[in-house]
Amino acid sequence: MSPQVVRFLIAGGSAAAVNWLSRIALSLVMPYVAAMLVAYGIGMAAGFWLYRTFVFRGAGTGRLSRQVAVFVAVNAVGAGVVLGVSAALVAVLAALVPAVPVPVAEALGHGAGIAVGAVSNYFGHQILTFGVRRTQVEA
């Protein structure tokens, strides 16, 4: 596993933890889907800073406004993946294991959605957001 992938997993895991924990707190005051979307934005802000600073180190020379715009676009796709996987898993858990409390099903569904979305985000950010070439990857 390359050092960049390890840094991505640590940074992405940190941003995902911010996302997941924010959603749990936000769910106390808003509906599940709304809480997921707001939490996704909070995690996305943390992720941008972490990825730009620690993962895609050679990307600091790119135009910030372009990187932010592409980062948001890549994450919009990722948000769709997270929402779809999360909602599907909550529905499956409700149907197959009705005894699972709704907050637990939502936490599990959201966690799985974040994990699946991380894969598409890595490649999207590496290629599109930060434009890291193979020669820059290990910089």
Would the pLDDT of 137 be above 70?
A: no
Q: What is the pLDDT of residues 78-110, one digit of tens each?
A: 888 888 999 999 999 989 998 999 999 998 998
Token pair, residue 120, equals 């598409």
Nearest one of 24, 22, 54, 65 to 40, comparing CA atoms: 22
- pLDDT band at residue 139, thresholds of 50, 70 and 90? very low
SS (H, E, C) 65-110: HHHHHHHHHHHHHHHHHHHHHHHHHHHHHHHHCCCCCHHHHHHHHH
Domain ranges of the chain: 3-129
Q: What is the pLDDT of residues 2-36, one digit of tens each?
A: 888 888 889 988 998 999 999 999 999 999 989 98
Instruction: Tell me the pTM.
Output: 0.70
